[in-house]
Amino acid sequence: MLFHVEMDVRIPHDLPSETADKLKATEKARAHELQKSGKWRHLWRIAGRYANVSVFEVSGPQELHDILSSLPLFPYMTMTITPLCRHPSSVREDDR
Amino acid sequence: MLFHVEMDVRIPHDLPSETADKLKATEKARAHELQKSGKWRHLWRIAGRYANVSVFEVSGPQELHDILSSLPLFPYMTMTITPLCRHPSSVREDDR
Amino acid sequence: MLFHVEMDVRIPHDLPSETADKLKATEKARAHELQKSGKWRHLWRIAGRYANVSVFEVSGPQELHDILSSLPLFPYMTMTITPLCRHPSSVREDDR
Amino acid sequence: MLFHVEMDVRIPHDLPSETADKLKATEKARAHELQKSGKWRHLWRIAGRYANVSVFEVSGPQELHDILSSLPLFPYMTMTITPLCRHPSSVREDDR
Amino acid sequence: MLFHVEMDVRIPHDLPSETADKLKATEKARAHELQKSGKWRHLWRIAGRYANVSVFEVSGPQELHDILSSLPLFPYMTMTITPLCRHPSSVREDDR
Amino acid sequence: MLFHVEMDVRIPHDLPSETADKLKATEKARAHELQKSGKWRHLWRIAGRYANVSVFEVSGPQELHDILSSLPLFPYMTMTITPLCRHPSSVREDDR
Amino acid sequence: MLFHVEMDVRIPHDLPSETADKLKATEKARAHELQKSGKWRHLWRIAGRYANVSVFEVSGPQELHDILSSLPLFPYMTMTITPLCRHPSSVREDDR
Amino acid sequence: MLFHVEMDVRIPHDLPSETADKLKATEKARAHELQKSGKWRHLWRIAGRYANVSVFEVSGPQELHDILSSLPLFPYMTMTITPLCRHPSSVREDDR
Amino acid sequence: MLFHVEMDVRIPHDLPSETADKLKATEKARAHELQKSGKWRHLWRIAGRYANVSVFEVSGPQELHDILSSLPLFPYMTMTITPLCRHPSSVREDDR
Amino acid sequence: MLFHVEMDVRIPHDLPSETADKLKATEKARAHELQKSGKWRHLWRIAGRYANVSVFEVSGPQELHDILSSLPLFPYMTMTITPLCRHPSSVREDDR
């Protein structure tokens, strides 16, 4: 099932830059892994903001939480979660 | 290029039901057409609400506006538009 | 899986009272049926407001949407949906 | 009587991690104790957020305040309190 | 126990004035009765607005709901409910 | 005349605890004094929050400001001020 | 004493225009009278909006309420009231 | 001097369509006239919404108000006004 | 021309108190000077808050910005600017 | 195509002033460069605030993001992006 997630990142200015860089690198590796596994189905940058719009395909809220809360940048992100389902006017087979 | 659109529908309770039904039928036909043309790339229902999350692939804000403002339910919808671009951690070729 | 739903009801003052009464009676019957089936797990009135807090146990966002959008009062309700999962400090077996 | 509580946790990034770990461990122990006593009736994690939805059964606002304000993480939480009562359509005996 | 209630009244302009006048008269009578019974402990007008701030002393959220939802103007009011308890710095015996 | 005041306290986590404790003790003493003088007429704790609801009886906005701005915790509080007057349905002599 | 009031006017589009015109004319006459009496000390239009910023000099919240609630357009206005007092840096004698 | 104005249009669904069409035609003519006079310096449609972003060059708030409040659609628009001035990093001569 | 300005001051608790005191003293001197010059026409304290309501008479947005942005406390203030003009019901000659 | 951007700057008070000054100087140079290239079409200061309103002409959301996210002050700015298109009543050739 699908969940729409908006992630807004706000890294405190007094976090040492090496710490931030390390977190970002690990975050990227984890994002690659999750996309390849098919769990993180879509990932777009919101133009002009340090934020993204994502769609996750998971077995339920529990798996969604386990994935999101284990992201390295989780403590610095505000998450907005929206459960999705099939739209009656949709013609695309995989949007469900 | 891609635009993320959230559409919230609010049909006034005193709109005659035939008018509403007709608008919804035309809206559905138009949604099919736009999806088949590739312009309306994703269309999901937000669970529990008369609302959807969509992704449009258009030549720019002008074409996006022409499409959205010509939807039959446009006068009864609140639109939230967010321009998207490629996320540096994305591995999916068509999410851009 | 569990979803937390807050429903706020706002019936337009110019809806004929017979229509409203009929809708409420059908809503009540449907609520009974859904509670008995186990899908509508909790249902509380918010003190002082025409609103409720509910917890649904469903197979996913699709079933949640099918249930909520078929409620007789759906057109007059604002729904706020929150996906729930097991809390690591929870000791109650059925709260998941 | 029942009170619905949403707790959002925000631990400052410059709080030493040992302090934070200690607070979390004490919080967990206290949550277990309060659940076992029957005061903290429900406790769910909100998927994707460091937050929970809870239902407390207490003798009144005074006991609710005494419990919540003595939680170890209280200084780092935003609480939203909603008094609940029996819903006229509820069929479950203990949801009151 | 005490609950703080803010009531904002908004009577639709197309409600017949006799209906409105009748509702207001019944509301006033009910407010008198509830104050005399000691349930409606304080009642102040918010200066410049068709709104009031009240404090109710009731046996719990259930009684509070029964009282508020039976007020004649209830369908035209937005209620904001806040449970109160004794302040540790309070010296007044009856503010609890 | 009467003013309704909601005070929300937020003490920064990096304020030394002795400083905070001292401020709170002085605040309590000042609150006692003002209640005894009759200026701080009501003082309730909002259940579950580090906040209070108060009613002040003062000679006007100037005296209200002088009192509030001299509270030891003033720099850490968000104040919401609402002028009150007699409600036409009130029967209590001193609620004005 | 002084109160700052922002008044936002919203006249329903289906109010007969003669009714609206009559209300506006009476409102204007009343505004003149109150300004001449010295109670309505300042009255400015907010550029580009059907709204005003005003300063009233009254004996207290009760007189303020009596004045505002008797304005002919009161049922169609949203009022925001702010009590004012002397600013320690003010040099103007009558701004208090 | 320059003022930035965002205009959001919301035409009530029960306004007769001839009335609406007439208003829109007059609005368009007035917009042409004001642009030609140089007062309405910029006018853009916000993509996907019945709204615009504009920049006016006027002699002050009074002229701005006279222009905006005389627009035929004024009663159906929400205006957000922001005064602009020269940006210290601007290199464009006419953006002031 | 006139601009209405609300200034909310929030001085960070870890700013050294000498720095803060110096800023406040310079701010006061500057406020005196600007009031005497006639630019800062009105200045009121908002009762109970570290905030003020002001009216400036300036030659336009540029002068307003130059004045406000040069105030010593500018970096610690949130400014809300509203352009004013003459109200059609105003009888006071200098409120324009 | 055109995008409307509002940038609000908030530099933390504990950022060393040399760091801030350097960032501002580089920001200014970059703004000059982008204006000369024609990408940053309009740039206005919002009167009374450390904020600007801008219009960018870019090839799409990707280029917009690349430009905005590379601004030296980007980590300290809140960006609000609005895609623009030609207004049907516009007569100015270059506002599209």
Chain segment I16-54, per-residue pLDDT in tens: 999 999 999 999 999 999 999 999 999 999 999 999 999
* Chain A residue nearest residue J60, CA to CA: A47
Chain segment C72-85, per-residue pLDDT in tens: 999 999 999 999 99
> Quick check: I58 pLDDT over 80?
yes
CB-CB contact of I89 with G31 (8 Å): yes
Residues found in chain E: 96
Structure tokens at D28: 């967990």
Q: How far apart are CA A94 and CA J65, in angstroms?
A: 29
D87 touching chain C per CB within 8 A: yes
- Identify the pLDDT of residue E86: 96
Chain segment F32-65, per-residue pLDDT in tens: 999 999 999 999 999 999 999 999 999 999 999 9
Mean pLDDT of H2-6: 98
Chain segment E41-57, per-residue pLDDT in tens: 999 999 999 999 999 99
- Identify the pLDDT of residue D94: 75
- Identify the pLDDT of residue B96: 67
- Identify the pLDDT of residue A94: 75
Counting one residue from chain A and one from chain B, the pairs whose CB atoms sit within 8 A come to: 94
Give exposure, A12-51, as e/b (b: 16+ Cβ within 10 Å): eeeeeeeeeeebbeebeebbeebbeeeebbbbbbbbbbbb
Say which amino acid occupies G58. Answer: V
Residue A83: which of C81, C85, C86 has the nearest Cβ? C81
CA D10 from chain center: how many Å? 15
pLDDT confidence of B4, banded at 50, 70, 90?
A: very high
> Quick check: A92 pLDDT over 90?
no
- Identify the pLDDT of residue H96: 67
CA distance G10 to chain E (A): 12
> Quick check: E64 pLDDT over 70?
yes
G56 touching chain F per CB within 8 A: no
| Three-class DSSP category at D75 | helix
Chain segment C12-52, per-residue pLDDT in tens: 999 999 999 999 999 999 999 999 999 999 999 999 999 99
Tell me if D89 and C28 make a contact (CB, 8 A cut-off).
yes
Q: How far apart are CA E13 and CA G74, in angstroms?
A: 12
Mean pLDDT estimate for chain I: 96
Structure tokens at E1: 């126990």
pLDDT confidence of I96, banded at 50, 70, 90?
A: low
Chain segment J27-46, per-residue pLDDT in tens: 999 999 999 999 999 999 99
- Identify the pLDDT of residue J33: 97
> Quick check: F95 pLDDT over 90?
no
Q: How far apart are CA A8 and CA E33, in angstroms?
A: 52
Chain segment D46-79, per-residue pLDDT in tens: 999 999 999 999 999 999 999 999 999 999 999 9
Share of chain G above pLDDT 90, in %: 95
Give exposure, F73-87, as e/b (b: 16+ Cβ within 10 Å): bbebbebebbbbbbb
Give the domain ranges of chain H.
Answer: 2-81
- Identify the pLDDT of residue F96: 67
Chain segment H15-71, per-residue pLDDT in tens: 999 999 999 999 999 999 999 999 999 999 999 999 999 999 999 999 999 999 999
What is the value of pTM for the model shown? 0.96
pLDDT confidence of C96, banded at 50, 70, 90?
A: low
Pairing of strands D40-46, C77-86: antiparallel
Mean pLDDT of I45-71: 98
Q: How far apart are CA E65 and CA F24, in angstroms?
A: 36
Q: What ipTM was assigned to the predicted interfaces of this complex?
A: 0.94
CB-CB contact of D50 with F16 (8 Å): no
Beta-carbon count within 10 A of J20 CB: 15
CA F23, F27, F33, F34 dihedral sign is positive
Q: Name every residue whose Cβ is closer than 8 Å to that of residue F95 and which is 6 or more positions away in sequence.
A: E42, E43, E44, F2, F86, F87
C65 touching chain B per CB within 8 A: yes
Mean pLDDT estimate for chain D: 96
Counting one residue from chain H and one from chain I, the pairs whose CB atoms sit within 8 A come to: 38
CB-CB contact of A95 with A86 (8 Å): yes
CATH architecture of structural domain J2-81: 2-Layer Sandwich (3.30)
